[in-house]
Amino acid sequence: MGRKLIAGNWKMNGLTGSGVGLARELAERARAAAPLGYDLLVCPPATLLFPVAEALRGSAVALGGQDCHSERSGAHTGDISAEMLRDAGCSYVIVGHSERRADHGESDALVRAKAEAARAAGLTPVVCVGESAGQRQAGAALAVIERQVSESLPRAGDPADLAIAYEPVWAIGTGLSATPTDVAEAHSHIRALLAHLVGEAAAATVRVLYGGSVKPENAAELLAVPDVDGALVGGASLKAEDFWAIAASCP
């Protein structure tokens, strides 16, 4: 597997001052540490995309959106298309985050349509999957992941232009991260599913990230798990020092 991807999901956090300040600090650190042995990505709220793109210019830190619409344009008040994200300087977009699946009732089919729209606009989708606490307690974690992977991924396109984030819902924002054993089991299951869907060689090029309470204290252990190709980081991505420490934990 190639370079790991460390992605920050700022969610609905940040105003111009704090967001641009955070982006500037990351860009400065990335310039000072260049060349980096991993890929870095930040996904700010839509209102900050343009100023954050400006702050990141000339650094190795990539920009991503947190969601996109499945259509290219049209009468969809409040929504943002993948092409608009691209226009704002994005190269990635998160789709199917569990908060969108829960808050906005997004189905696997819709997530797939969004991932396909992202690809069509030249963005790499980061497709999120992961079971709830109840599903895990019921012994259904792998079955849920299997359904989400087979139904939420784009059908066509280069597998290398795709990332999946395994994010157990019970680990997001709770401080409870999955154990390395749970993560290893889920990631090897996802890799096997991918091999079935796109063939073994192509499956090896898809980056499968872990997300759920990743912090400087547990990052090294989680990033060392086989088949973990990076991390999707929420809360800890809002502090440059913590996000940087997580990235620097890449083996």
Q: Is 167 marked active-site?
A: yes
Binder of ligand PEP out of 5, 169, 214, 250 (CB under 6 A): 214
Residues 116-175 that bind ligand PEP (CB under 6 A): 167, 172-173
Q: Is the separation of the CB atoms in 128 and 95 below 8 Å?
A: yes
DSSP string, 72-101: SSSS-TT--BHHHHHHTT-SEEEES-HHHH
Shortest approach of ligand PEP to residue 240 CB, angstroms?
Answer: 15
Residue nearest ligand PEP, Cβ-based: 234
Looking at the Cβ atoms of 18 and 73, the one nearer to ligand PEP is: 18
**Residue 16, class by beta-carbon neighbours within 10 Å (0-12 exposed, 13-18 middle, 19+ buried)?**
exposed
Give the count of residues interacting with ligand PEP (CB under 6 A): 13
Binder of ligand PEP out of 235, 242, 244, 246 (CB under 6 A): 235
CA distance 210 to 145: 13
14 touching ligand PEP, by CB under 6 A = no
Binding mask 193-212 toward ligand PEP (x if CB under 6 A, else -) reads ------------------xx
CA distance 14 to 12: 7
Can you tell me which residue has the tokens 């980096």? 36
228 touching ligand PEP, by CB under 6 A = no
Q: Is 76 marked active-site?
A: no
Looking at the Cβ atoms of 124 and 213, the one nearer to ligand PEP is: 213
Residue tagged active-site, from 83, 116, 131, 167:
167
Residue tagged active-site, from 69, 97, 187, 189:
97
Question: Looking at beta carbons, which pairs linking 190-193 to residues 24 or more positions away fall under 8 Å?
Answer: 190/129, 190/145, 190/149, 190/164, 190/166, 190/227, 191/227, 193/145, 193/146, 193/149, 193/150
- Residues serving a catalytic function are 97, 167
**Residues binding ligand PEP (CB under 6 A):** 9, 167, 172-173, 211-214, 232-236
